[in-house]
Structure 1
Amino acid sequence: MSDPTRQPQLALDFLRGTLPFSELSGDVLNWLAKACSVDFMPTGTRLFERGRTRPDRLWLVQKGAVRLTGGPVAAAEQDAGQDVRPVIRPDIRPDIRPDVRPDIRQDIRQDMRQEGGSVGSEGTDSGPGDASGADSLTDVRGEGASVGAVALLEGGVASADVETVEDTFFITIPRVVFLELVEREQVVSQYYMKGLPERFVTKAFAEMRVRCEGLADEKGLYLFASRVGDLVARPPVSVTRGTSLRQAAACMVEQGVGSLLIREGVRDRMPVGGQDTDEAFSLVMGEEWDERQGNITGASWDHGGELLSDEGDGEIIGIVTDSDLRKAVSLCMDYSAPVETLMNAPVVAMDAERPCFDGLLEMMRRQIHHLCVTRNGRIIGVITAHDIMVMQGRTPMSLFREIMHQRTLEGLHPLGQRIAHVVRGLVEEGARAGAITRMITVFNDLMLEKVLSLLQRELGPAPVPFCWMCMGSEGRREQTFMTDQDNALVIRDTEDPVIRKAAEFYFSVFTEQAVTHLDACGFKRCKGDMMASNPRWRMEQAGWTTQFTGWIRRPEPEEVLNSSIFFDFRSGYGRADYVDALWRQVLEEAAANELFQRHLAADCLRMRPPLSFFRNFIVEKDGQHRNTLDLKKRGGLPFVDFARVMALRCGIRETNTMDRLSALETAGHIPVQLGREAREAYEFVMHLRLVHQVAQIERGEEPDNHVDPATLSDLEKQTLKEAFAVAVRLQSYLKDLFHMHMG
């Protein structure tokens, strides 16, 4: 008589749609399905008793749900690959099984240390949270979730009470089979030891790339597949300081190059004035040029590069281009003048292995057209924006140049509308959200600079210097295809009442027109009127100091809620030193005021990720966006708020969310694993927003942030749930850190 609990086909169908087992080969899946059993437990059945039950199998919820309850110790049962694992409070953990493969056992111990946990059966609570032993609901798990993995891996007892909350069917995997699977299949071991498995995140990104595949042309992929080193066609040409402009021009013509590197002459061969000599320049070519090493030593790349040096031929101090020489002719300069009078310094360089996208982005950000390329610390050539443009028809650089060369405000309006259509190609080409938002920021910053500079040309110079501040997503450099304005104005302090009155009149007109033109360029007005055109957000330096000091020293819940985006501010145009000074004061005040930090943390906890206790999505129930998820407010905001409050608490000035998380992790303010998972989860949520908006643009719709989960693939839905679970863990971290366990 056959065993009714053995239903290989039912188990196989379930495993094929459940991570991480869906990633296994067909042979392994068939073997595993034959070892599984099907079990049914009615409502209220106690599966595990905390501290007593020693699980003999892994329980996978096939249909129904289970509830986990317990005191602080229950957190340990929220195993990786499922839900919230203990990050701050280590809880009591039994010894790791000695028969688990040594490298896996070491991974488990390392994860525990990263999370602040103790290894061994006598671990104690050492985190900042409340160690109350009162039982509480810690999690509810629905279809596809599992219980028992931690106890099986560690060879110990259950750390939570587990009970069915409705009639529930399980697929169970025997302990011996599960441990063998963990040892044999890396995809399984990684899943149950990591909270947000990298492999699945990568695969989910790839799946979204395929969805956009039909929208992209093949030539576009070069931006990410090709390296800047691939564009180098010849070795660089350099001349010594003191070379005349006439000689530099002759050198360019003779060698057929559009730029020359300028170096200090240490071999006493500098030409004087207009004296023509063949030794005025050094051609590093032919047998004298080592293609693998280049000719310049000491080259480095550090967010824009440093002065480069040549041990033999002197330090590289700058670069001069053919456009610089044309400028000299137009200004009727003396052709015998030394070339360094025209050079651009310092030289900007990038490693040959960096993708062309990075090179393009850096040239756009710095508004330059030549970029030195290094390999093994030595310059191997110089590439231009044109080199990148000729390889692609639909190029961001072409639009960038159009914006740069535009002479009228009205001419900028249609160009702003084209930014989304150009940048969306990056989504179609497979770029991740971090790279895409960087490019959007470059375009938006350039558009802001052009609008304000052209407006000043129309209105005349301001009575006093000022700085245009960017806030919110603009301040964080995280704008998508749907964005609005969040800005303010910092004006230099003045005691003269006449100048102050003139400044007040000038900036009232200036800011209103600026906001109007930005709106015409595609940057919608802020519905909450948090813009520089609002007199409330247009103040002198002293006024802003008083404003931020008030928010920090006398925090009120509603005020903190409304002012939180101001703590993402950065300089957008004008006197950046005004913003620098304001940041120094803000960081000093915020880091010293825990009451203010608690208010920010409480604000962070207001917006719960849209994930139910049953690990199902919580969608909008009515209105225009019924049955959708708001990926901005409910999906991304918990990450943004967490990074902000932690950065202010720890004195970190970064405003970008991923940069904040990285800085917090690097400085040891949050566990390494938590920081990594938070960055991956946030970027995934951001990317899903961008892919959704690209599809809307293609359909001619207005882009928004509301995604219907029914349109997502199974992998995308599962990865999104895991991302939301990370957001839940971030909020739990804040609860523990600020002792905010309420009910």
Structure 2
Amino acid sequence: MLPPKEFLRKIKPFNLLKEEELEKIVGELEVEAYEEGEEIIKRGENSNYVYFVYSGVVGVYENGELIDRFSRGEIFGLTHNPQRVAVAEEDTICYLIKKDVFMDIMEKNKLFSDFFKSFEEKRFSRIPDLFREEEITDRLFLTRVGELISKKPVVCSPYTSIRDAAIKMELNGVGSIVVVDDNLKPLGILTSKDFRTFIIYGKSHQEKVSAYMTSPVVAVDYSTPVFEAHLELLKRGINHLVVTENGKVRGVITANDILTLFEPTTSLIVLYRKLKKAKSLEEIKNTFKNLTKSISSLVMRGMHFYDLSNILTEIYDYLVVKVIEMEKERFEREWGKLPSFAWVHMGSSARKEQVIATDQDNAIVHEGDGEGLSQFAESVNNALDYVGIPKCRGGYMAMNWCKSVEEWKSVFSEWFIKLTPDNLRFLSVFLDLRVIYGDEKLCKELIEHIKREHTSQSLRYLAYDATIAEPPLGLFGLRMKKEIDLKMNGIYPIVNGVRVLALEHGLIEVTNTRERLEELKEAHVMDADLAESLKETYEFLQDLRLRLQAKEVVEGKKADNVIKVSEIDRIEAFVLKEGFKVIKKFQNFLKGHYSIERGL
């Protein structure tokens, strides 16, 4: 048995303590052994200790019902509940930490205190950040653009000559000059690219910069997170961003400035530009493969799911649209003009919640007879599979699901009336709809039909589907599970449950799970605390899933959703258990809301 100090030092969250704080805990530490079946905390007892399990398993019961289990490295007894009893479920050894000593250290050590507060407030996504060695201060999405400014802004008026602007840039060693008015408000920017335009088309060095500057200028506020600036660069395909404060120019940052925050191999901006310039499917395939590796590097550095999903959505959307346009041009050149249609995404892509291991979930909504669209859809599905977005194993792709608006209306009406297992599965896939390309009015017409056609019975069946897969709450205390499918056991129950509530309250156009939860909370459909806890649980599960997939990509393996319990961090295991409790509470809410317990 390791000495208490050495044992605690290796265990989170005690590794957050300073040496003197650890000494204080160990100095008044007690060790107790409990036989199987022995009560550790009795009913009504307000213990003076916080219990740390060194070995064995402890069950916590309330009114005779098991509500939690704790095993090696876990803490219980921090809060008092007179209705609860703690019992050794096998021979168990606990460290007993005096509660007044524990609380005193919590007051003085912010990280240690934040750990327990995050649990209490169900802010699960915050907890892993407390233990990252690189710390959150160097993370791309928390750094402010103002921190990247290394030089005072080099500016000129719109009436400055091209020659004088060039001299000023050369003297200051910069690659751009900001064109401003008398109040230092940016009017435009002149870069080396603009000088090339002048060399080709210019007449005299005395021409004014206003004739060649890029205007209006793309500017961001001094306090903007670098993550947002990074996304702006990606969207616009530009190199420079003007930084302002109170409307006045403070400096200029470039793509290279932002890339200094990345690992050397991570260069999303460069790769995104390559994707935009790609002229063939082969070029797209090679670039997308490198983009996946870069995204994996970002995940390994600690970027969260909600932050990363914006970038992923931007990349995936652009890639899909580019492939559609390339295939459409080729198809129409060979077979003639295609009728009006909307290319629609379902699933995680529709919800803007893609992860690294994503496949195709798409469909076509068209007008008229849609002549040629099925063949066109097949060519797009094949092309997307070739460049790196694999085909859906369930066949939910436009090549199989290409219908007119009226046909789609009939299909949805049938699904809502005939609630067979197949039809329920179809609804769980197709109720997340987002137009990626084409005529949005076609999809909007279909969504209005869905709002009118769904029935109370269909809502009950869909809600039941969200409660079937119960989270494996007993796995940590009993060690019953070696592997967990994060998608099936955690993510699906949240997505499917939130979706049915959104359908009931006419929120189908809102596709993102987090945004749906916000809308449901605002509409008082569900308790605010439950909604917030679900958001945190969902982000934590997606973060864990992303890190799993990123690790597999870096190691050259096929990314999936199955995580080995023995390979995850003890704190992550603890948070996962707490998250499963939230999911179970949500499922109980759904059962009550839709009267599922009474039968279907």
Task: Name the TM-score class by shorter chain.
Answer: 0.7 to 0.9
Pick one of 330, 339, 342 that aligns with 1:467: 342
Pick one of 265, 271, 283 that aligns with 1:399: 271
Alignment check: 8 A CA contact 2:483 2:562 kept: yes
Q: Distance in 1 between matches of 2:573 and 2:453?
A: 42
3-state secondary structure, aligned to 2:431: helix
Report the equivalent of 1:355: 225
CA shift, 1:24, in A, is 3.3
CA shift, 1:533, in A, is 0.5
Long gaps (5+) in structure 1: 1-6, 75-134, 152-156, 214-219, 240-246, 258-281, 297-315, 332-338, 495-499, 620-626
Alignment check: 8 A CA contact 1:413 1:517 kept: no
Report the equivalent of 1:485: 360
Report the equivalent of 1:139: 68
Report the equivalent of 1:25: 18
The letter of the residue matching 1:405 is K
TM-score by length of 1: 0.65
Report the equivalent of 1:453: 325
711 and 49 in structure 1: CA distance in 2 versus 1, 3 angstrom threshold: closer
The letter of the residue matching 2:24 is W
The letter of the residue matching 2:317 is D
CA shift, 1:738, in A, is 4.0
Pick one of 459, 474, 477 that aligns with 1:612: 474
Report the equivalent of 1:640: 495
Q: Distance in 2 between matches of 1:39 and 1:629?
A: 33
Report the equivalent of 1:573: 437
TM-superposition CA deviations, 1:426-454 (whole Å, max 9, x none): 23444222232322222211111111111
Pick one of 130, 150, 159 that aligns with 2:79: 150
1:710 matched to 2:580? The reply is: no
CA shift, 1:532, in A, is 0.4
Q: Distance in 1 between matches of 2:512 and 2:292?
A: 21
Report the equivalent of 1:227: 145
The letter of the residue matching 2:222 is A
Q: Distance in 1 between matches of 2:459 and 2:99?
A: 45
Alignment check: 8 A CA contact 2:123 2:536 kept: no
3-state secondary structure, aligned to 2:403: strand
3-state secondary structure, aligned to 1:488: strand
CA shift, 1:643, in A, is 3.5
3-state secondary structure, aligned to 1:195: helix
Q: Distance in 2 between matches of 1:175 and 1:324?
A: 67
Report the equivalent of 1:88: none
Alignment check: 8 A CA contact 2:71 2:476 kept: yes
Q: Distance in 2 between matches of 1:209 and 1:538?
A: 50
Report the equivalent of 2:297: 425
Q: Distance in 2 between matches of 1:18 and 1:740?
A: 42
CA shift, 1:567, in A, is 2.2
Report the equivalent of 1:260: none
Pick one of 113, 137, 159 that aligns with 2:83: 159
CA shift, 1:542, in A, is 2.4
3-state secondary structure, aligned to 1:573: strand
The letter of the residue matching 1:511 is A
Report the equivalent of 1:295: 185
TM-score by length of 2: 0.78
RMSD of aligned residue pairs (Cα, Å): 4.6
Report the equivalent of 2:540: 684
Report the equivalent of 1:523: 389
Please tell me whether Structure 1 or Structure 2 has the larger radius of gyration of its CA atoms: 1
For residues 240-639 of structure 1, the aligned pairs below 5 Å read 255=165, 284=180, 288-289=182-183, 294-295=184-185, 349-366=219-236, 371=241, 373-377=243-247, 395-460=267-332, 462-492=337-367, 494=368, 500=369, 503-504=370-371, 506-534=372-400, 537-552=401-416, 555-587=419-451, 593-612=455-474, 614-615=476-477, 619=481, 627-639=482-494
Q: Distance in 2 between matches of 1:490 and 1:340?
A: 46
Alignment check: 8 A CA contact 1:58 1:172 kept: yes
3-state secondary structure, aligned to 1:524: coil
For residues 1-150 of structure 1, the aligned pairs below 5 Å read 12=5, 15-16=8-9, 20-46=13-39, 52-55=44-47, 57-70=49-62, 136-150=65-79
Q: Distance in 1 between matches of 2:448 and 2:487?
A: 29
699 and 425 in structure 1: CA distance in 2 versus 1, 3 angstrom threshold: closer
Q: Distance in 2 between matches of 1:383 and 1:185?
A: 37
Q: Distance in 1 between matches of 2:40 and 2:13?
A: 23
Alignment check: 8 A CA contact 2:521 2:527 kept: yes
CA shift, 1:483, in A, is 1.7
575 and 350 in structure 1: CA distance in 2 versus 1, 3 angstrom threshold: farther
Report the equivalent of 2:119: 195
The letter of the residue matching 1:227 is V
Alignment check: 8 A CA contact 1:416 1:521 kept: yes
Q: Distance in 2 between matches of 1:387 and 1:67?
A: 53
Report the equivalent of 2:516: 660
Q: Distance in 2 between matches of 1:375 and 1:387?
A: 19
The letter of the residue matching 2:516 is R
CA shift, 1:525, in A, is 0.7
Q: Distance in 2 between matches of 1:573 and 1:712?
A: 40
59 and 547 in structure 1: CA distance in 2 versus 1, 3 angstrom threshold: same
3-state secondary structure, aligned to 2:79: helix
TM-superposition CA deviations, 1:112-134 (whole Å, max 9, x none): xxxxxxxxxxxxxxxxxxxxxxx
Report the equivalent of 1:84: none
38 and 560 in structure 1: CA distance in 2 versus 1, 3 angstrom threshold: same
Q: Distance in 2 between matches of 1:182 and 1:283?
A: 53
CA shift, 1:509, in A, is 1.1
- The alignment of Structure 1 onto Structure 2 pairs a total of residues equal to 575
Q: Distance in 2 between matches of 1:179 and 1:700?
A: 46
Q: Distance in 2 between matches of 1:728 and 1:703?
A: 27
Q: Distance in 2 between matches of 1:468 and 1:449?
A: 9
The letter of the residue matching 1:645 is V
Alignment check: 8 A CA contact 2:469 2:489 kept: yes
Could you tell me the percent identity over the aligned residues?
28
CA shift, 1:147, in A, is 4.8
CA shift, 1:480, in A, is 2.4
CA shift, 1:399, in A, is 2.0
CA shift, 1:527, in A, is 0.5
Long gaps (5+) in structure 2: 168-177, 202-208
Q: Distance in 1 between matches of 2:196 and 2:406?
A: 46
Q: Distance in 2 between matches of 1:238 and 1:466?
A: 48
Report the equivalent of 1:698: 554
735 and 222 in structure 1: CA distance in 2 versus 1, 3 angstrom threshold: closer
CA shift, 1:468, in A, is 0.7
CA shift, 1:702, in A, is 2.4
Q: Distance in 2 between matches of 1:60 and 1:742?
A: 42
Q: Distance in 2 between matches of 1:429 and 1:188?
A: 22
Q: Distance in 1 between matches of 2:189 and 2:199?
A: 18
CA shift, 1:531, in A, is 0.3
Report the equivalent of 1:95: none
Q: Distance in 1 between matches of 2:258 and 2:48?
A: 60
